[in-house]
A and B are shown apart, each in its own frame.
Chain A
Amino acid sequence: MSELTGAQVPADGLAPLPTVVIGGYLGAGKTTLVNHLLRHAGGRRIAVLVNDFGEVDIDADLIVGQDGEVLSLAGGCVCCSFGSDLVGTLMALPERSPTPEVVLIELSGVALPAAVVRSARLVPGIDVVGTLVVLDAADVARQAADRYVGDTVRQQLADADLLLLNKTDLVDAAALPALRHALQALAPRAAWLPGAVAELPVELVLGWRHDPASDATGHDGPGTAAASVAAFASRPIAPTAGPAATKRAEAVFATRHAPLPTGTDLAALGRALVQPGLGVLRAKALAVDAAGQGQLLQVVGARWRVTPSRVAGPGRLVVIGLRGTVDGPGFGVQGLQFGADPQG
């Protein structure tokens, strides 16, 4: 667990652009995940950065146009090919109109996520919140032991904050616990995202949607309990998963909320939320600190970071975790009063 540094609030006061790196070996399902996230963007303007369009199969019905290195996607999203210049492509993102709200960097199958994270952090205003590594359940054990790419795959695991074991339907269910155990040893820092790609709540990757219109009412960011539960079932642009997958997601994940008093130490809260066993996969908190400065806490897996932020309304925390842990009686953070999860 570590505190991330290097986030910068640009001088012009623009909020940092949250960025998630998506890695994993060939065939793991990275593009399937990206398509799922685009389809359930819930109004977020996502910029997907890929090495090259040719390697990525963005679902054709999501594509509305192409202009050179940029594909225009449904819902104001874009897909940019960065070729060999990731940093330059990231630098150009804030100039896009409309400005993206969240960035996904989809890596090639042999790329090492940590190296990409270091490069992305060269860009002022890019806030890398974490690395999600997608694994092919049926093949990852072989890949991690492969004589040629084994060290690459193991490094990808070691770089992960969140792991998504995909294609579990191809594996004998009885073998999964042992596989997870073996992989966890290679990814000591990472938290598991259970379930299939199609069932994944997009907030786990994309974070909670910032709604500027709600600033005035003090309900931006994590929002109300009801709103964030609604976000679990955010209306897809063109549904592929259907209500059944939403139902399954609700059976797997739960959210919790707590108000935060002014003066809350978000760094201490971050440290508390990443304690192993607590079951928190992603969390976001907004509060005014003791010095009167608004702060934003983001938690992804075992990583957390605090950055200055505008805070409208009362301080608050929202958490997504595994049902059975974060909604159980044993869940809690000292000094906080968690509200009930309405679905619980």
Chain B
Amino acid sequence: MTTTTVFSARKIITMNPSRPEATHVAVREGRVLGVGGLADLAGWGPHTLDERFAGQVLMPGLVEAHSHLMAGTLWRYVYCGYFDATDPNGKVWPGLKTLDAVVAALAAVAARDPLGTDPIVGWGFDPIYFGERRCNRADLDRVSDIRAVGVMHASGHILNANTLGLRKAGFLRSGIDHPGIPLGDDGLPTGELKGPEAMMPALGHVGLDRSFLSGDEVGIRDFAKLCVRAGVTTATDLAATLGDDELRTLIRVAGEDCYPVRIVPLLRMIGMKPSDAVERSVALMARSTERVRLGRIKVVADGSIQGFSARLRWPGYHNGAPNGLWYTAPEAMREVYTLALRAGVQVQTHTNGDEATEAALDCLEAALRVSPARDHRFVLQHCQLADAAQYRRMAALGLCVNLFANHHFYWGDQHYATTVGPDRAERMNACRTAMDSGVPFAIHSDAPITPIGPLFSAWCAVNRLTASGRVLGDHERIGVADALRAITLGAAITMKLDSEIGSIECGKRADFCVLEDDPTTAAPESLKDLRIWGTVQGGRAFAAG
């Protein structure tokens, strides 16, 4: 016999325009039966009234449309970031404001086990806030000179190692000539390893094994805890390799009764032919479960703006750096689009620079001529530098966009001063233009690059403040209601899951974000500080422990 539970709440924000607010929601079989006042729901028959949220506000479960399971894996290492961050178990780790503080945090871990020989690993390190001084191997030798030490930067593109770590990686020698390995006055590497070519050979030696790149079982569970804490009920793993073992583990763990998140892994098209990627995605689609949704492809067109590896149109980088790199050839993009449109497979393309965006637009336009398709909802991910003309093309071609709102806060000042200059920094992550152009849009954290937290992303899109306090691009700000839609229904639309999630209405999954505070009445500048009780996912309540 099916049971019906009616949750009462101080307020229910539904994202359904025909009934934007309510006080009760009836749930049966993990789905929403009805929304309204208690009397409106009486016709569904006997129910259990659950009043645990009577003092709270419910809104649709938040949707993080650009994150990585790796966000859960990294917390087993020492957090070295500049800003306070909360681990999966709710412990707040204070931001480390000086290099000495970073060294001290790592040294404290080393001291816990004086006889230990394991490497000491840190992550989230962001020395741009420490001025000109670069971290070198002598700094990390202070952590330990008998254990390898490796510290991953927040960007994920630079690794610092101590002397032993460099030696184990085979890099402690003279005569090295590589742009990613700066040398000190002694002719030996300083300890910074920049870019994958320099970093990858050292990762294993400083204790970062392969599991940190994709989610292992512990990482999958820890990722879910981070989601609950952020009010998230559906999240992507945006660049998965989806090997058989990895996928079996994910499906098993996410299938457990207590697993609180719907994971949407995208197959990263790297080192495979477009036809293979599409074929594999079609096969993966059939393996989808309620909480693991498969069958989408991620393509990476270019690199990153702060790494000067994004492809920019004229006039290029503000500081004169040469243009960035193509990670996927436009021909391959056009081919995968053409085949995927034909097969009904969604493709999401990472385009950071506006030239990469332009190439993606050209490729999709060409692909649509060959494989006409309605409602493909291909997505441009990050798409940070797109201008208004490009948004008009996105609308015409049926594209969605997922903008990196958080980036604005963390690196907006660097974009303004160095990478792209004021004009283009102000138009970055143009939520207002996306809305005005009619392009369905979401906003994201790219966790673990920035912490998962859609309400923080909403705060970024609403206020567009940088870390130094500059309002960067006032015109591109959006209202609170628009931002709340972007982190629920907007994100669901870009994932083609809007028939199931994104709003609280009859027939959809009973996925709620449970808040102590009401975002619709809160001051816009306080959005990021709203208190989150936890989530309801598929009708199951999960308190942020």
Known: A87-B201, A119-B178, A122-B171. A55 touches B271 (CB 8 A): yes
> In the assembled complex, which residues on chain A have CB atoms less than 8 Å from the CB atom of B271?
51-55, 81, 83
Answer whether residue B373 sits at the interface, using C-beta atoms and an 8 A cutoff: no
Instruction: Decide if B42 is an interface residue (CB 8 Å cutoff).
Output: no
The complex places the Cα of A55 from the Cα of B276 at a distance, in Å, of 10
Q: Of A147-155, A205-213, A258-266, A335-343, which stretch is located at the interface?
A: A147-155
> In this assembly, does A84 line the interface, its C-beta being within 8 Å of a C-beta of chain B?
yes
Question: For A85, what are the chain B residues with a Cβ–Cβ distance below 8 Å?
Answer: 196, 200-201
Q: Identify 11 new A-B residue pairs, CB closer than 8 A, beyond the known A54-B276, A110-B326, A110-B329.
A: A6-B175, A55-B272, A87-B197, A109-B329, A109-B332, A115-B197, A119-B180, A122-B171, A124-B170, A124-B173, A151-B323
- Are A148 and B170 in contact, CB atoms less than 8 angstroms apart? no
Residue of B176, B201, B323, B330 touching A88 (CB-CB under 8 A): B201
Against A, the Cβ 8 Å flags (1 = close, 0 = not) of B271-294 are 111001000000000000000000
Residues facing A in B183-205 (CB within 8 A) are 196-198, 200-201, 204
Residue of A86, A118, A149 touching B177 (CB-CB under 8 A): A118
Chain A CB within 8 A of B325 CB: yes
Specify which of A8, A151, A152 is in contact with B175 (CB 8 Å cutoff).
Answer: A8
What chain A residues lie within 8 Å of B179 (beta carbons)? 118
Interface status of A104 (Cβ within 8 A of chain B): no
A87 to B54, CA, bound (A): 58
B414 interfacial contact with A, CB 8 Å: no
- Supply 13 A–B pairs (Cβ within 8 Å), ascending by A: A6-B177, A27-B331, A54-B271, A55-B272, A83-B270, A83-B271, A87-B201, A109-B329, A110-B329, A121-B178, A122-B197, A124-B170, A148-B362
How many chain B residues sit at the interface, stated as a range, is 35 or more
The interface centre, meaning the residue of A26, A87, A123 with most chain B CB atoms within 10 A of its CB, is: A87
Q: Is B359 interfacial (CB 8 A cutoff)? A: yes
CB distance from B435 to the nearest CB of A (A): 28
Report yes or no: A52 in contact with B201, Cβ–Cβ below 8 A: no
Contact B272 A148 (CB under 8 A): no
Contact partners of B23 in chain A: CB under 8 A: none
Q: Please measure, in the bound complex, the distance between the C-alpha atom of A118 and the C-alpha atom of B323, giving whole angstroms.
A: 19
**Interface set of A (CB-CB < 8 Å, partner B):** 5-6, 8, 25-27, 51-55, 81, 83-88, 91, 108-110, 112, 115, 118-119, 121-124, 148-149, 151-152
Chain B residues near A122: list those with CB within 8 A: 171, 176, 178, 181, 197-198, 201
Among residues 230 to 272 in chain B, which have CB atoms less than 8 Å away from a CB atom of chain A?
Answer: 270-272
- CB of A165 to closest CB in B, whole Å: 20
Which residues from chain A contact B180 at a C-beta distance below 8 Å?
119
| Chain A neighbourhood of B311, CB < 8 A | 148
Known A8-B175, A110-B326, A148-B326; judge A119-B273 contact (CB<8 A).
no
Determine if B390 is an interface residue (Cβ-Cβ < 8 Å).
no
Given contacts A118-B178, A122-B181, contact A26 B201 (CB under 8 A): no
